[in-house]
Amino acid sequence: MNFAFTEQQQAIRESVARLAADVLAPRYRQREQEGRIERSVIRQLGDMGCLGGELPEKLGGSGLGCVTSGVIIEEIAKGDFNVGYLPLLASLNGQIIANYAEPELARKWLSEITAGRKTVCIALTEPHGGSDAANLRLKAERRGDHYLLNGEKTSISMADQADVAVVFARTGTVEQRAGGISAFLVPMDLPGIATTRFEDSGQRAIGRGSIFFDNVAVPLSHRLGEEGKGFRQVMQGFDYSRALIGLQCLAVAQQSLDETWHWLTERQAFGQPLSAFQGLTHPLAEYQTYVSAARLQCYYSLWLKDSGLPHNAEAAMNKWWAPKLAFDVVKQCLLAHGHTGYGEDLPLAQRLRDVLGLQIGDGTAQIMKNIIARETVPK
């Protein structure tokens, strides 16, 4: 059993860590205030091979493993949690497009996405659905060589920044549930598409909003996979993204811990450094233990995926535990900084707001625990 990263993975980690420290971290709060991630930064991620690196080279990737993609996301998120969402979207949607799009369409879009010239989002959730992901009403009606899409998607990350979206729509009846859902690759500049943005507590650099489809004509060639099988085919990719989300959140937790340990050695009280007081160090020691364990769990899931082994339960563990743990860790670090931590001069308050959102998005803890139970109960 070998827990070491390869020399290539270590070199990638060091390179991405420099980018995170020099380019991403200094503008973390500014991106939040501007509500945008600069296209120049996205291009830089593409130039460094940080977007969809696990995809084959013929599709614009680097042929890296999923563990290496986890290394990349972890380091990016240490500098800016929200920028860390970009490689996650590129990896999740990239695998969907690579596996189910027509070859020429896949090459066209993935070469742009991996280069950072185009951005992609995934549009699944609808206003009345929430955790019932198969309860979709956005309609896709076949009309000759195209489909007409009508309806609304909501709570979509990057809704007003993405250039293309992977959209789930109902091509069958409501009674068919997942069996009547198809997936489509939809350029966001097609006539009939409109977007809105929500006023959220955090993750404003990514943005979350609704996408409205009014007789949007999508070519038949843009359907992903077989008609009526899109939901079952594409949902398998979420096992991958859940491990990446785990590392994205844990990166923020570890960065906050590192800063707080340093703070405790510098700050004095009652003639001693704060690090001399167990009331402060013991909670951090506990969280250091939890973060280390959760991080190993995430990399174990990615290793299982790279090895072609089942990882549904492990991925669900990553998704419910890591966001909650990250929130608790950042909260404790904020409290350890006292009144200084509560202010906006430090990034802790924004980190707290940002990681909270992923206790909701991409599957709640309750849904994840349902998956773990389903996979664990003896058949």
Task: Find the range with the poorest average confidence among 25-39, 222-236, 270-284, 300-314.
Answer: 222-236
252 close to 81: Cβ distance less than 8 angstroms: yes
Burial class (CB in 10 A: 0-12, 13-18, 19+), 310: exposed
The pLDDT of residue 174 is: 67
CA distance 356 to 259: 20
Question: For the chain, what percent of residues have pLDDT higher than 70?
Answer: 96
CA distance 336 to 342: 10
Positive or negative torsion for Cα 277, 280, 285, 286: positive
SS3 352: helix
Q: Which residue has the higher pLDDT, 233 or 50?
A: 50
H-state helical runs in 6-154: 7-19, 28-34, 39-47, 66-79, 85-100, 103-115
CA 144 to chain CA mean position, Å: 36
Instruction: Express each pLDDT in 181-200 by its tens digit.
Output: 999 999 999 999 999 999 99
- Mean pLDDT calculated for residue range 272-298: 96
SS3 51: coil
- Report all structural domains of the chain as residue ranges with CATH numbers, in order of start: 7-118 (1.10.540.10), 122-226 (2.40.110.10), 237-376 (1.20.140.10)
User: Containing H/E element for 374?
Assistant: helix 365-376
- The amino acid sitting at 317 is M
- The amino acid sitting at 36 is R
Residue 217 β-bridge partners: 148
Q: Is the pLDDT of residue 375 over 80?
A: yes
Q: Is the pLDDT of residue 160 over 90?
A: yes
According to DSSP, residue 161 is labeled T
How crowded is residue 102: how many other Cβ atoms within 10 Å of its Cβ?
15
According to DSSP, residue 273 is labeled E
Instruction: Express each pLDDT in 199-255 by its tens digit.
Output: 999 999 999 999 999 999 999 999 998 888 777 776 777 888 999 999 999 999 999
DSSP 286-349: HHHHHHHHHHHHHHHHHHHHHTT---HHHHHHHHHHHHHHHHHHHHHHHHHTTHHHHSTTSSHH
Query: How far apart, in Å, are the Cα atoms of 168 and each of 30, 189, 327?
Result: 33, 17, 31
Which pLDDT band, with edges at 50, 70 and 90, does 37 fall under?
very high
Contacts of 108 (CB under 8 A, 6+ apart): none
Whole-model pTM: value is 0.94
How crowded is residue 311: how many other Cβ atoms within 10 Å of its Cβ?
24
Instruction: Express each pLDDT in 312-351 by its tens digit.
Output: 999 999 999 999 999 999 999 999 999 999 999 999 999 9
